[in-house]
Every structure is written in structure tokens, then in C-alpha cells.
Amino acid sequence: MKKMQNSYKKSGVNISLANKLVNHISLISKKNVKKEKKPFDEEIIGGFGSLFDISKLKVKNPVIVSCTDGVGTKVELANKFEKFDTIGIDLVAMCVNDLIVQGARPLFFLDYIAVGKLELKKTKKILSGIFKGCSLSSCKLIGGETAEMPGVYSKESFDLAGFSVGIVSKNKILNKYKVRKDNVVLAIPSNGLHSNGFSLVRSILKGKKITNQIKKELIKPTKIYSKEILNCTKKNLINSAAHITGGGLIENLLRSVPESLTLNIDLSKIKVNKIFKWLKKNNISDEEMIRTFNCGVGFCIIVNKNNVKKIKKYFSKKYMPYEIGFISEKRERVLLYKSLKW
């Protein structure tokens, strides 16, 4: 009897299917380049490395900034709710929002998608979100990798990682050493949970029936703040900034304030989103809420008080910045006033 030959496909990896996905990505990329009207001459899709021509960028004393991140266990909710077209926006947002903290303009993005079994329809939806996120960020998706890993991931499981690169002029870099006494802290509203705290969310959801409205709120994509923040940095209106992710409001803000000054925050001023009020009802302390979730604040900027009015001109009503605190002389590292309003 003739023995059945082993193959990569029989082990669970379908190279032909992966090639179809690469062709799909190439076609979408070319369409996007045509729409942009200003393609970079040396961009090549499908090469071993991704190329990006920086010779045409008019940036004085340029500094390259890079960030990498994922979306955590929010991917499990995407699977649970079968909602795959926005998780890619989350991926881009988590990287790009870190770039703009330092005043950097996003240039390009690369993604890594790991799956147990490659499903073209599902993966195309994930990629559509990544392209959308890049469009919202005014950066380009110039490369990536899709890995089919049976035995490491179950057939339905997947994970995402992203890598973004930006550029900023050396004298335009935002950092905590530009912060001064009497600067004010402005909170910029979030779009919901963004991409943090989902291990706790999933624990709460076990055995619980939830409405379609709650599902919609939980899976909302992370807000990308690049357009608004970069408009402000061009006018030198921001001293320091913080992307509110893992660790919550206080921990992330402290990274943007020098140790020689005190961060003062009035928690009662925070405009808490409804979804966080719903989560709070599940026996979670205030301390845990503010440490795990953004509670309605997705991004913060620390600015001179006389710049506040100018800054607000760059934001829509939904994401209008508002004052939640100030910087004072050193007494404590941080002083919290009042409590969150639920």
C-alpha cells in the first residue's frame, strides 16, 4: 500500500490561500495609492522588506519615532460577537495614538496577524479595519505578515500586533520637561473602552445576557486623535500629552509630568461614558475602575491656560477637550480631588 505523503497543507497551513490574501492586499493597496494622488515612488508591495521614501519630507532636524502594540483580549470579543471590521482600527489607533504623544506625524504602519486557520472572509474584514485606521491616521499600510499557526491557536482564534513609524522635528517633540506650574490638564473624550481592560470585561460577561446596545458599546473602535493633536502641535499649543491606555488615567498622566511638579486631578469633572457606568454596577471599586479603564478620557494634553480656547477650535463637539486638573509646585506626586460621578 502506498503511503500518504505529508504536506504543509495537511499539517494545517494553506500557502495557496495565503497567496490569495496577499493578492487581495496588493490590490487594495494600489487602490489606496491612487486615491492619495501623491504616492511615494519606491513603495513596493509584496517585497521582503517594506520601503518608504523619506527624501521628500520637509522636516527640519527630523527625529524618527516608532511604536508597537496590539489590541489585547478585545480580539476575543471580536470573535464572540463576530465583528471583525473595526478591530483593525483599534490596532492602528493603539500605535498611532502613542506616536502623537510625542508630537510625531504618522508615516507608515505594518501589521502582524496570527491565526489558527486562515479564513479569507474574516481576515479581509480585519484588514479592511487596518486600512480604515491608516486612512484616519493619514499614514500608509506598507507591509505586514499573516501567520497560520495550527496547534498554537485554535481554528477560530487570532491575534493582532502593529508597528508604526512617525516623524517629528527635534524642536517640536512633546515631553514632560515642557510642563510648567499652573499648566492645565485637558481631557479629550474617548469613544468607549478603546482597547484596554477586556480581560475584566470578559470575566463580567461570563454567563450574563447582554443587549445588542451593550455589545455595540463594548466593541466600538478606539478613537484616533492624530488629526486634532497634530493641528495643535503645529501651532505649539501643547506642552505634554498622554494616551490613556493600560494603567488608566493617573498612571499614564504621571508619565507626562516631571517629578518636580504635582499633578492635581478633580475626578468629579470627568465625563464618564454610559458603558463605564454599566461596568461599575458589576461590583467594581472606584479605584479599580480608574486604574483599569479610561472611564471616558481617551487622551490628555497639558497646556498653557491661555491656549485652551485656541485648542478647542480643532476639535468636534463629540471630542471637545475640557479641564480636569492643573499642575502645581511639588507637594505630592499626585493629588486627587473628590470622586468619579456615576
CA distances from 157 to 1, 129, 213 (A): 38, 18, 24
* 10 assigned to some structural domain: no
Q: Which residues contact 180 (CB under 8 A, 6 or more apart)?
A: 239, 261, 304, 327
User: Is residue 332 domain-resident?
Assistant: yes
Q: Exposure pattern of 246-266 as b/e (b: 16+ CB <10 Å)?
A: bebbbebbeebbeeebbbbbb
* Cβ–Cβ under 8 Å, residues 88 and 123: no
Give pLDDT tens digits for 310-336.
Answer: 999 999 999 999 999 999 999 999 999
Q: Identify whether residues 244 and 144 lie together within a single domain.
A: no
Statement to judge: residues 104 and 250 lie in one domain: no
Relative to beta strand 261-266, strand 334-337 is parallel
Predicted pLDDT of residue 45: 58
What's residue 4's pLDDT? 53
Residue 94 burial (10 A CB sphere; 0-12, 13-18, 19+): buried
Domain-located, residue 9: no
Q: What is the CATH number of the domain that holds 127?
A: 3.30.1330.10
With a cut of 70, list the residues of the chain below it in pLDDT. 1-18, 20-22, 24-46
Show which of 124, 154, 172 is a domain's final residue: 172
Q: Does residue 300 sit within a domain? A: yes
**Do both 112 and 33 map to the same domain?**
yes
Answer with the one of 131, 152, 172 that is the final residue of a domain: 172
CATH number at residue 281: 3.90.650.10
- Do 161 and 218 have their domain in common? no
Asked if residue 32 and residue 162 are part of one domain, the reply reads: yes
Q: Is residue 234 part of a domain?
A: yes
The number of beta carbons lying within 10 Å of the beta carbon of residue 164 is: 29
Same domain for 131 and 113, yes or no, is: yes
The Cα–Cα gap between 280 and 289 comes to 7
Please check whether residues 127 and 226 belong to one and the same domain.
Answer: no
Residue 38: the pLDDT is 44
Q: How many CA atoms lie within 13 A of 310 on its CB side?
A: 14
- Domain that includes residue 212, residue range: 176-337
Provide the pLDDT for residue 49: 85
Examine the fold and report which residue of 127, 146, 172 is the final residue of a domain before the chain moves on: 172
Residue 308 lies in a domain: yes
DSSP class per residue in 159-191 = EEEEEEEEEEEGGG---GGG--TT-EEEEEE-S
- Tens of pLDDT along 6-37? 544 555 556 666 676 667 666 666 565 445 44
Do 153 and 62 belong together in one domain? yes
Residues 112, 201 within the same domain = no
State whether 186 and 331 are in the same domain.
Answer: yes
What's the pLDDT score for residue 39? 38
6 CB-contact burial (10 Å; exposed 0-12 / middle 13-18 / buried 19+)? exposed
Half-sphere exposure of 197 (CA within 13 A, CB side): 27
When divided into structural domains, the chain yields a total of: 2
The C-alpha cell that represents 256 in the structure block: 507626562
Is 125 domain-assigned? yes
Whether the CA torsion 129, 133, 135, 139 is positive or negative: it is negative
The per-residue pLDDT for 56 is: 86
pLDDT at 48: 80
Question: Do residues 237 and 332 share a domain?
Answer: yes
Q: Is 171 exposed, middle or buried (0-12, 13-18, 19+ CB in 10 A)?
A: exposed
Residue 317 in any domain: the answer is yes
Residues 333 and 192 both lie in one domain = yes
Sign of CA dihedral 206, 207, 212, 213: negative
Residues 297 and 300: their CA atoms lie apart, in Å, by 7
Amino acid found at 234: K
